[in-house]
Structure 1
Amino acid sequence: MSVNLLQYYLYCCLLAMLGVIVFVRVSVSVKVFLLTLAVVVYLALFLHVYAPRSDCYVKQLYGGNSTPGVLKEPKIMSGIWLVIFYLISLILVRQDELGSRTEFLLEKCFNKETEEMETTKNVNRLLLQNLLPEHVTDFFIGKDIQNQDLYSKSCECVCVMFASVPHFFKEFYNESSVNNDGLECLRFLNEIISDFDELLNKPKFSNVEKIKTIGSTYMAAAGLIKPAKTEERQACDMSNSHVRSMLDFAIALMGRLENINMHSFNNFKLRIGINHGPVIAGVIGAHKPQYDIWGNTVNVASRMDSTGVLDKIQLSLPSKRHPGDGRRSLQLTD
């Protein structure tokens, strides 16, 4: 066996061990087993199987009377190089294992933080949608809005409704010990308003938006989600789709209140005022922003409510000269 052939077997062993370190994607225990198996097999080849040929080659090289040192023995040096590379391989395998575990933990931590950020974003969006309309929420989400940046939108065709229970605080509300200092009355009012809010989840009232509650008065508007352009105003006035949706919503409010009266043995009646016309919608405030609408249309709708009759819906009939001024009214029964 020549030295070149011995070096060939040595290099094959080193390449096999290097392949185990780099390309084999298994656990560290399996890698250690494969490396140990390779070292044992090649040491057995060098020290036992090919030992006579190596001794014969050394005798021919140095003569039969002289013996070379240990460092000049090919089989001994091959074994030493294999053991050294084996120890280095164990260190590299351990480092690779630690790096893989660290990468796995970092990726797991990153995925967890990403899920938490996504959950927080969804919670914030849900909270904003409870405070602001969805199309206004999309304006604020993901943007760095400054306090001086005002959100406002001019809407040409909006139907505004005020629905109030005028005798709630005058006759029903009482801060006595029986009502827990008025807390039970507020709970009942919350039940009424919550039932009114549930109606907004129906598809037929998708274009109706709750604005706010003022005492026992419920304020809503239709036509704010997709504000009409100026050139579309005439077509919008002819269709009166927002008015029909708001009338259906007002009738549904009356029916829901009748259902509450039947279960609570009360006799509350709604007084509803509706007006249709242009408004300005926007968000005011920085720490506690509030979505609201302003304009003469809102004022007339409020007067339709305050001057209306119980259990009736009062609408303004705009004249040609003064649209939306509320000088003519129509009363509809349930």
Structure 2
Amino acid sequence: MEKVKLDNKRILFNLLPAHVAQHFLMSNPRNMDLYYQSYAQVGVLFASIANFNDFYIELDGNNMGVECLRLLNEIIADFDELMEKECYRDIEKIKTIGSTYMAAVGLVPTTASKTKKSITSHLCTVSDFAIEMFDVLDAINYQSYNDFVLRVGINVGPVVAGVIGARRPQYDIWGNTVNVASRMDSTGVQGKIQVTEDVYRLISEQYDFVCRGQVSVKGKGQMLTYILKGRSHSGRPNKSAARQPSNILPRPRVAIKRGSSPLSPFDLSPPHAVADL
């Protein structure tokens, strides 16, 4: 019986963030009230492998697309491993949507962003994580002879977090902040990190930016956005992973499908009247 309880506890902590899992373990099992928390300032990241749909193809030679999905799984797993670093302990992976990776920072009640200093610190954490995601993908491209391209969007603002479902409970976040973050990704530039003006104002002293200009965003109209280039000289050094891996064996090639149009999980208008980057 104790082993079953331990296994169930382990599953719960794998499904939910630690502070949420602890809430359910301490709650009355008969209490089926909705779990939710409101947060004033959360950094939200969406990162898409922009050309994965061009890569995916179903052929006998790649087990009808299974090998393509196997490589996608390795990419996502490497992003997950990156998040295990101590410096990224405050970031919470929310979910993956196809080839899009969603994460947020500032969701742990004890470390939630309550002051400008803590908000800035959290945004720096998620920005550094985004920069390292590019290095991780570069390493995978080097190993697998592919040319995947990452595209990232970041926003900050209020969200509501909660758990939906009984048999398969899922932790998620909702709000306009989340919607705009996804649009920063989908209207972004391949190989770049696009952020909102709110993000720029909070961390402009720590990072170098280029003003992209006005971008047409579905449901929001024209938004002024910025491209995050990297840590400024006054910021702490970027602790990015090496781009050339030396201790991992190359992965096998997988056939690449070219010429098709990628399908985004978000139906968004294209950028408009933007500056060259």
Q: TM-score, normalised by structure 2?
A: 0.71
- Are the aligned partners of 1:304 and 1:314 in contact in 2 as well (CA < 8 Å)? yes
Residue 139 of structure 1 is matched in structure 2 by 23
Residue 139 of structure 2 is matched in structure 1 by 259
Residue 188 of structure 2 is matched in structure 1 by 308
Cα deviation, residue 138, structure 1: 0.1
Residue 56 of structure 2 is matched in structure 1 by 173
Secondary structure class of the residue paired with 1:277: strand
Higher helix share: 1
Cα deviation, residue 328, structure 1: 1.9
- Are the aligned partners of 1:156 and 1:227 in contact in 2 as well (CA < 8 Å)? no
Q: Which residues in structure 2 correspond to 1:233-248 (within 5 Å)?
A: 233=114, 235-236=115-116, 239-248=119-128
2:107 aligned to which of 218, 224, 230: 224
- Are the aligned partners of 2:42 and 2:106 in contact in 1 as well (CA < 8 Å)? yes
Q: Which residues in structure 2 correspond to 1:1-334 (within 5 Å)?
A: 117=2, 119-146=3-30, 148-169=32-53, 171-226=54-109, 233=114, 235-236=115-116, 239-318=119-198, 327-333=223-229
The structure with the largest alpha-carbon Rg is: 1
Runs of 5+ in structure 1 lacking a partner?
1-115
Secondary structure class of the residue paired with 1:318: helix
Cα deviation, residue 143, structure 1: 3.2
Quote the Cα distance in structure 1 between the aligned partners of 2:77 and 2:68.
Answer: 14
Worse-matched range after superposition: 274-283 or 137-146: 137-146
Quote the Cα distance in structure 2 between the aligned partners of 1:194 and 1:264.
Answer: 15
- Are the aligned partners of 1:273 and 1:308 in contact in 2 as well (CA < 8 Å)? yes
- Are the aligned partners of 1:154 and 1:227 in contact in 2 as well (CA < 8 Å)? no
Higher strand share: 2
Quote the Cα distance in structure 1 between the aligned partners of 2:125 and 2:72.
Answer: 25
Aligned residues: 210
Quote the Cα distance in structure 2 between the aligned partners of 1:194 and 1:262.
Answer: 17
Quote the Cα distance in structure 1 between the aligned partners of 2:133 and 2:125.
Answer: 12
Q: CA RMSD in A?
A: 2.2
Cα deviation, residue 331, structure 1: 0.5
Q: Which amino acid aligns with 2:86?
A: P
Secondary structure class of the residue paired with 2:61: coil
Q: TM-score, normalised by structure 1?
A: 0.59
Cα deviation, residue 243, structure 1: 0.4
- Are the aligned partners of 1:147 and 1:286 in contact in 2 as well (CA < 8 Å)? no
Encode CA deviations 1:42-86: one digit per residue, 9 max, x unaligned: xxxxxxxxxxxxxxxxxxxxxxxxxxxxxxxxxxxxxxxxxxxxx
- Are the aligned partners of 2:41 and 2:119 in contact in 1 as well (CA < 8 Å)? no
Encode CA deviations 1:142-164: one digit per residue, 9 max, x unaligned: 53344741000001111000000
Quote the Cα distance in structure 2 between the aligned partners of 1:179 and 1:130.
Answer: 31
Name the CA shift for 1:260/1:196 in 2 (closer, same or farther; >3 Å): same
